[in-house]
């Protein structure tokens, strides 16, 4: 696995991947933070395209990421995250909406748990998923990061 750090407006993000695919985007703190494993190799050149696209996103010039990535998880988690990946820029959806979209309307909590295991936040925009009453719910990078990302997209 290759990795590097990307200095973003929300802190140093860990990028990790292999086989020409991004597999992890880790926040500096929170439940979606990661540390490089001993057998990982530092290689910033490996992520040049991703760094360019992330810079464009944070500058408000990119709404869709179009480089290869790999979704990890169970089949259910992958279905949820593939659905979350389709939530348009600068819009929000709810856990219940995603549950309905995957034809499991009573699975809103399970959708929330799958969202919490998203190893590619921002790329798969789990920050766009909110509670049914419009509340900001848990987020692996912290609620303040979720709010920042939603405000960035609303400009």
E strands present in the chain = 2-8, 11-18, 21-26, 41-42, 93-94, 129-130
Active site residue 126: yes
Smallest Cα–Cα separation from 14: which of 38, 39, 34, 41?
34
d(CA 26, CA 14): 5
Active site residues: 126
């Amino acid at each position: 696995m290759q990795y590097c750090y990307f200095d973003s407006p929300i802190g140093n993000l860990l990028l990790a991947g292999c086989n020409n695919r991004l597999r992890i985007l880790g926040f500096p703190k929170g439940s979606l933070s990661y540390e490089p494993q001993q057998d990982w190799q530092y290689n910033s050149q490996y992520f040049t395209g991703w760094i360019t696209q992330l810079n464009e996103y944070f500058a408000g010039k990119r709404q869709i990421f179009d480089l290869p990535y790999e979704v990890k998880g169970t089949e259910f988690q992958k279905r949820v995250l593939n659905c979350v990946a389709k939530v348009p820029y600068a819009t929000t959806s709810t856990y219940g909406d995603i549950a309905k979209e995957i034809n499991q309307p009573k699975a809103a909590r399970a959708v929330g748990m799958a969202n919490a295991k998203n190893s590619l936040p921002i790329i798969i925009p789990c920050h766009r998923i909110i509670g049914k009453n419009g509340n900001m719910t848990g987020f692996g990078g912290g609620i303040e990061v979720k709010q920042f990302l939603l405000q960035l997209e609303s400009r």
